[in-house]
Amino acid sequence: WPQRHGGCPWWPRGVCAGTLNGLSVTGDAQHQYQTLHKMYNNCEIVMGNLEIVLIDHTQDLSFLQTIREVTGYILIAMNVFAALPLQNLRVIRGTQFYEDKFALFVLLNYNPNTTHALRQLGLNQLTEILAGGVYIEKNAQLCHVDTVEWRDIMRDPRLEPLVRDNGRACPPCHESCAGHCWGPGPEDCQKLTKTICAPQCNGRCFGRAPNECCHEECAGGCTGPLRTHCFACRHFNDSGSCVPLCPQPLIYNKLTFQLEPNPDTKYQYGGVCVRQCPHNFVVDQSSCVRACPNDKMEVEKNGLKICEPCAGLCPKACEGTGAGSKYQTVDSSNIDTFINCTKILGNLDFLITGLEGDPWRNISALDPEKLNVFRTVREITGYLNIQSWPKHMHNFSVFSNLETIGGRSLYNRGFSLLIMKNENVTSLGLRSLREVSAGRVYITENRRLCFLHTVHWAALSRSRADLDIRNNRPRSKCRAWGKVCDPLCSAEGCWGPGPGQCLSCRFYSRRGVPPCQPRRALRDPREFSQGGECTECHPECERIDGGATCNGSGADTCTRCAHYRDGPHCVERCPDGVLGERGPIYKFPDGSRECRPCHENCTRGCAGGRGHRGERDGRGLGGRAPTLIAVMVVGAVFLSCSLVLLALLYWRGKKIQKKRAMRRYLERGEPLDPSEKANKVLARIFKESELKRLKVLGSGVFGTVHKGIWIPDGDSIKIPVSIKVIQGWSGQQSFHHMLAIGSLDHSYIVRLLGICPGPQLQLVTQLLPLGSLLDYVRKNRGAISPQLLLNWCVQVAKGMYYLEEHRMVHRNLAARNVLLKSPSQAQVADFGIADLLYPDDKKYFYNELKTPIKWMALESIHFGKYAHQSDVWSYGVTLWEMMTFGAEPYAGIRLAEVPDLLEKGERLSQPQICTIDVYMVMVKCWMIDENIRPTFKELANEFTRMARDPPRYLVIKVSPPKTPPGPPRTPPNPPETLTQDSPSPHLVTKVSPPNPPKPLPNPPKSPKSPIPVPHPNQESGAAPPGEPPLSEKELDEVETLELEEEEEEEEEEELDGTFGLAPGLGPQRPRGSCARVRPPGAGGGLGMSPRCPCRVPAGASSRVPAMSPRCQLPCPHVPVVSPRPHDVPSCPLGVPAMSPQCQPPCPRDVPTMSPRRPLGVPAMSPRFQPRHVPVVSPPCPRDVPMVPAPLSPRVPVLSPRCQLRCPPRVPVLSPRCQLRVPPVSPRAVPSVPAPSVSPRVPPQSPSLLSAPAGYIPMNQPGLGCARQVPGAGGVWGV
C-alpha cells in the first residue's frame, strides 16, 4: 500500500497490527512462534501491543530486529531465549497499558529446571517511553537492567520504575559507559538524551550544550535541532518532519471569509500523515479510523469513504417477525430489540397473542407505551401486518416516520400492507409514507376508520395499485362526523385530521409541525419562502420584529447579525487560530461587532489592531460641583473660593496629565534593533538633547551614575531618571549587550528605559529615590526587622535567578548595586559590566584590572572566569553586608592579600544577628568548588522558607545587653592595633597552615582602626602570653585526660539510665561562663562560634545555655582561635567550653537547636546530637584532599576526612593543624595511637574486623575510631 502513495523514504516499509491477548496463548509453542513470525516479519511500526509469550530457546527471533516503534505496550513473559532482538526499537508510545500502568512489562523469563533464560534485554536504541511505567521482576538470570537509567527513558518523571529480583551475578558495565549500559560491552552503553541536557532544553538533546537541544516535537532523541532531525516524532510525521497536527481538511480563506477544502490535506494514520487512508479504513474528520463512531454513518463521496454525522438517528437494521424469523409477532419479550431501529429486515406482525399475551408460552401482555420504539423506523423491507391494536390508541402514529414498505416478502395472498379488525382506529396516521414498492394493500373491517378514501394510493405504488379496501366507515358518515382533511391540504388527500397529516400542502409547507401555513405566514419575519416551502432563517441572524430577518437560509443573507459579522457572514465568534493558507488566523471584534484581523506580529490572538498593548483612553475627570456657599456670604468671598477651586482643578489636571505622560513614556518602548527580526526589547534610543544630568550620585570602576531628567522631544514633561555613563564602551559589541539588557523585565530587576549612544554610552534607568540597599541599611539599622531582611534576600535571589534564566552574568553584585524601589521591594541594578552568556558559552572570561576583589569568587580573581556560580559567591558577600548592616567585608585587609586568605580557607565571620542556618547558607556560597555552590533558585526557595518564621533565623537586639556583676575581665596581653596588614576582625579562620606562623612584629597603632587583636602566638595548641608553651606530648596528655573524663561521665549517665541533669550541672559544680576572650570591636559577633559560648545575662535563668537563642549576646572578650578556656575558672583545664560540664541546661520555654531534647540535657551535648542530622558544613570540595577511610563519600568539610592544607593523616581539628575540638562535638581524638585515646577504642591493626557500637574503624595509623551518622553521610568527631 505505501508504494501506491509515492514510496516516500519516510514512510515505514511495514506497518503491522498488534495483539491484546495478555498472558493467554492459543496452540502449542510451535504455533505460537509461527503466529509471531507471520505478524511481525518485516514490520517496522507495531500499531498496537507487542506481546512475546512462551517462546522456546530454539526459535529464531531475528525477524524482530526491524521493529522501530510500538504504539501500545511491550509484554515479555515466560520465555527462555537468551536475548531479545529488539536492538532497533527506539520508542514505546504507551497508548495502551498492561495492567493499566505499564508500557514495558518483563516477567518470569527463565526455566527453573534448566539453564535457559533471558540474560540480556538488548534494547540499546530505546530512548523514550512516551507514557506508562516499567516493570521488570523475577527474571533469574537477566542482567544489566539495574544499570539502565530508566528516568532518562520514561517521559513522566512522576513514575518510578519497578526493577527487582533479577540476575545478581552480572558483569559490570564497560568503563566507557559511565555506569549506564544494556550489556557488558562498549557497544552496549546507554545513550542518554534527557538527564544530560542543559536547563534550556524542554525535551531531549543530542549534546550537553544549551544549543544542542532537540525540537520539542522530537521523541527518542535527534541528530540536530530541527524538526526534521528527529529519530521519532512525538505526535505526527509529515513527510519526514515532526508536526503537532497533520494538514487539516479545511482552511480559512480570508478573502471569502469561509472555511474551504485544503488541497494539501493529509490524514492522521497512527503517527504518520498520509494523503489517503488505507482501503480498509474510513476518514473521520482528519483521521483514518477502522469504523465510524456511533453518532456517525459511513458514506462514500468522490470515491472516498468518510464518516458523516447522522441526521437524527444513525441507520440501524433490525430483524423483523413472521416467517423465517424466530419471532412470530411483536410481543413483550422482543419489543426492546427494536429500540433505535431505522430499518426492519423482514416483516412486522401485530397479533392478539402479542399484544394481550400468550399464557401457553408464558409471555405477558405488551405495554402499549413501548410501541413508541417504532417511531424511528423509516423502512420495512417486507410487509406490515396489523391485526390487533391497543384499544386506547386511535391511529398508527407510532409509524409516522415510516417512508417505505418494500414488499420483498408478502403476507398470504400477496399483501404488503394489511390492516384489519381494528375497531377503535379512526385514522391511519402514516403521514411520512411515500412508497409501497410491491404487493397489495388490504384494509378491511375497521368500522371507525376514516380518511383512507382521500389517499391517492396510486401515487404510492411503483406498480399498478391493487387495493382491497372495504367494510370500513363509509365516506358519507365520515363527512357527517367532520372527519375530513384540513383545508390547507392539497387534493392528494391526508392520513388524518389537521394540517400535519397532509400528503402535500395547498399553499406553503414548513419543516416541523404543523408543516403547512396560509399565505399570511409569509409575513413571519423569521422565515422566508423558497420553492413553496417556508424555511427558517440562519441561527446567527438577529430576529427583527416588524421587518425581514433574512432573505435566504445562509449566514450571509441576514439583515442583522445576532453576534458578529465576519465579512458578509454572521458568525458566533470571530476566527481565533483558524488554520489559513499561511498559518493560523486571528481576528478581534471592533465596536460595531465587525471581525477585524489582528496585527501580523500577533501570534496568539489580540484585543486590538495594533501590534502591542497600547494605552486606552483613561477615565476623564469628573465634574466637581463647587461647594454650596451660604446665601449671606458676600460675592467677593464666593469669587475667591471659586478661583481657589479652579486653581486646584487646574493643578490636579496637570498632575494627572503629567502622571499619564510619565506612564506613557516609561511603559512604551521602541525597538533598538532596526532589523525586521522580532525581539522583546523594551528600551528606546535617546537623543543627547533629551537628557540632562543634574548631579553625581556615585561612581564605580566601570562608570559614573548621575541624577538627571528626561525631556521627551515635543513635550514639556520632565521625567526624573538615573543616567549611568559607561567608560570605554566597545561600539557594536556593547550595543548588542544593551539589546540583551533592554529585554529584561522583572519585578526585582531595575529595568533599562533606554540608551544614548555617543562618545560615552549612557544607560537610562528609572530613578529610585531610596538609593542603594547599602546606604539604607546603614541609615536605618534600628528600623529593619528580620522579616524585611529575609524578604530582601528572597528578592535579590529571584532577580539573579531571572538573570540566570536569560543567560546574563552580573559580575558586580554587591549591596551598593541593589536599589530600593520601596522599603519592601529591592531591585538588582548596575548592568554596566554585565555580559550576555550566549548559549554556546559555558563561562565568560574577563580581563580587567579594576574589579571588586572582595566580592569576587576565587576563580574570578585568579583566572578572570565569570559564570552564574561566581555571582552566587558575590551574593553571599551581599548577604553578609545586609546582615552586618553595611559593614565592609575584609575590613583592613589589603586587596592583594584577599586571594591568599581565601585559599587558606578563611571566610567572613558569622554576623551578629544570624543563626547558624543563615550563616551556613553564606558558607555554601563561598565554597571553593563552584559546582557545589547552591543555585539562585535553591537560594530563593531556602530564604522563602526562612521568611515564614523570621525570628527563628535572625535575632536582632535593639538595646545592648547588660554586663553581669563581677570584676571586669582583662585580656592576658595588652591589645595590639589592627592595621592594614593585620588580620581582619571579620575573618573566621576555618583552616590554617600545618606549622604555626612566626610571630609578627607589633605593627604601629593607627588612629583610624584602634581594634585590639589577640597575640599572634596564640594559635592552636599555644599557651597564652606569659605562660610557657606546652609541648606536643603534654598536649596529647591533656587531650587524653579530656576524653577519659568525658567517657567516664558518659558511662555514669548510661548507668543512671535517665535523661536528667548532665554530670557537673548540679549545685556542686556550677558551669556556664564564657570560655574565650574576643577582642573588642572585632565584628561584635554573637557567641555562635563553636568554642565561644557567652555569659548568661543577669536577668536570665542560670539554666539557660549560651547556645540558646535567648542567650546569644556579644562576646567582646573571647579570642577567635583560643584552644582552651584558660580564663574560665569554672571549667577545668582541658575541658571544652561546649561540653556538658560547662553548659547549663535550657529551661522549658527556651527554644534549643533541636526539636526534641530530653529535659535537662544541654542542646549541644553529644547525648542529644541526632544521628540523622548531618554536620553543619557542606561536603568536601573537589580540590580538597581526603584521608582514605571506609566512610560515606559525603563527608563534611570539618570532618577528619576533609583535609584543607593539613599534612596527611592529621585531622583538621587536631592540635597540629588548628583547633583541638570539633565545632559541634566535645569529643576530640588527637592524632596519637589508639590506646592512648580512650579505652573504648581498640588498637589499630591490619586484622581489625569490627569496632565498638556507634564507631567505625579508620584504616590509618593514629586515627582511632570515628562515630558515623547513619544516613547522613557525615562524621561527628574523631
pLDDT digits (tens, 9 = 90+) for 758-774: 777 788 888 888 889 99
Predicted local confidence at residue 631, as pLDDT: 61
Categorize the per-residue pLDDT at 461 as very low, low, confident or very high, splitting at 50, 70 and 90.
Answer: confident
Whether 75 has a pLDDT exceeding 90, the answer reads yes
Q: How far is CA 29 from its chain centroid?
A: 48
Whether the bond into 514 is cis, omega within 30 of 0:
yes
Q: What is the pLDDT of residues 1148-1199, one digit of tens each?
A: 443 434 344 444 444 444 444 443 333 333 444 544 444 443 333 444 444 4
Examine the pLDDT at 715 and tell me if it is beyond 90: no
pLDDT of residue 1070: 33
> Cα–Cα distance between 544 and 553 in angstroms, integer?
15
- For residue 168, the model assigns a pLDDT of 86
Give the pLDDT score at 513. Answer: 40
Selected residue with higher pLDDT from 10 and 338: 338
Query: What's the confidence (pLDDT) of residue 679?
Result: 45
- Whole-number percent of the chain with pLDDT over 90: 37
* DSSP conformation letters of 247-308: PPSEEEETTTTEEEE-TT--EEETTEEESS--TT-EEETTEEESS--TTEEEEEETTEEEEE
Question: pLDDT at position 457, please?
Answer: 87
| 789 within 8 A of 883, measured Cβ to Cβ | yes
pLDDT greater at residue 412 or residue 1049: 412
Q: How confident is the model at residue 702 (pLDDT cuts 50, 70, 90)?
A: low
User: What per-residue confidence (pLDDT) applies to 464?
Assistant: 65
- Neighbouring residues of 1041: CB distance < 8 A, sequence distance ≥ 6: 1134
Distance between CA atoms of residues 839 and 841, nearest Å: 6
Residue 940 binned pLDDT confidence (cut-offs 50, 70, 90): very high
Q: Residues 473, 485: contact at Cβ < 8 Å?
A: no
Cα–Cα distances in angstroms (integers) from residue 965 to residues 959, 1060, 1067, in the given order? 18, 30, 20
Distances (CA, A) of 524 to 514, 518, 554, 560: 15, 11, 17, 16
| pLDDT reported for residue 1150 | 39
* Catalytic site positions: 812
Using a pLDDT cut of 70, give the percent of the chain over it.
64
Residue 1081 pLDDT grade (very low, low, confident, very high; cuts 50, 70, 90): very low
pLDDT score for 64: 95
Statement: residue 1244 has pLDDT above 70: no
Could you tell me which residue, 61 or 1268, shows the higher pLDDT?
A: 61
The residue assigned the cell 608553651 is 1029
For position 1103, what pLDDT does the model report? 38
Residue at grid coordinates 573524663: 1045
Highest mean pLDDT among 377-386, 1039-1048, 1206-1215: 377-386
Say which residues have a Cβ less than 8 Å from residue 51's Cβ, sequence separation at least 6: 18, 19, 20, 21, 22, 74, 75
Q: What is the reported pLDDT for 713?
A: 77
- What pLDDT sits at residue 255? 82
Range 1075-1080 average pLDDT: 34
Report, as an integer, the average pLDDT of 138-149: 94
Predicted confidence (pLDDT) at residue 1136 exceeds the cutoff of 80: no
d(CA 178, CA 865): 29
Q: Which of 1161, 1012, 1164 is nearest to 1088 (CA)?
A: 1164
pLDDT at 616: 35
- Rounded CA separation 91/60 (Å): 23
pLDDT at position 1229, please? 35
Residue 828 contacts residue 852 (beta carbons within 8 Å): no
What residue has cell string 399483501? 415
State the pLDDT at residue 745.
85
**pLDDT for 1045:** 46
**DSSP assignment of 1007-1054, as one string?**
TT---EE--TT--TTPPPTTSPPPPHHHHHHHHHHHHHHHHHHHHHHH
Q: Are 174 and 189 in contact (CB under 8 A)?
A: yes
User: What was the pLDDT predicted at 995?
Assistant: 37
pLDDT of residue 660: 67
Q: How confident is the model at residue 827 (pLDDT cuts 50, 70, 90)?
A: very high
Instruction: Please tell me which residue, 464 or 280, carries the higher pLDDT value.
Output: 280
Confidence of residue 43 (pLDDT cuts 50, 70, 90): very high
Q: How many CB atoms lie within 10 A of CB 1183?
A: 9
Predicted confidence at residue 1063, as pLDDT, reads 34
Q: Which of 854-863, 980-989, 1144-1153 is modeled with the greatest confidence?
A: 854-863
Rounded alpha-carbon distances, angstroms, from residue 595 to 570, 581, 584, 1125: 10, 18, 15, 85
Q: With a cut of 50, say whether residue 257 has pLDDT above it.
A: yes
Q: pLDDT-based confidence at 666, cuts 50/70/90?
A: low
pLDDT at residue 278 is higher than 80? yes
- Residue 986's pLDDT is 54
CA 22 from centre of chain: 35
Q: Which of 411-420, 677-686, 1104-1113 has the highest mean pLDDT?
A: 411-420
Residue 701 pLDDT: 62
Instruction: Give 647's contacts (C-beta < 8 A, 6+ positions apart).
Output: none
List, for residues 497-532, the tens digit of each pLDDT value: 988 888 888 877 665 444 454 444 444 456 776 666
Pairwise pLDDT comparison (173 vs 609), residue with the higher score: 173
Cβ neighbours, 10 Å, residue 554: 15
Contact 188, 174 (CB under 8 A): yes
pLDDT of residue 1277: 34
Q: Identify the pLDDT of residue 975.
A: 32
Q: What is the mean pLDDT of the chain?
A: 73
Q: 808 has which bridge partners? A: 836
Q: What is the pLDDT of residue 1111?
A: 40
User: Span 285-307, mean pLDDT?
Assistant: 88
Q: Is the pLDDT of residue 56 over 50?
A: yes
Q: Which residue has the higher pLDDT, 838 or 757?
A: 757
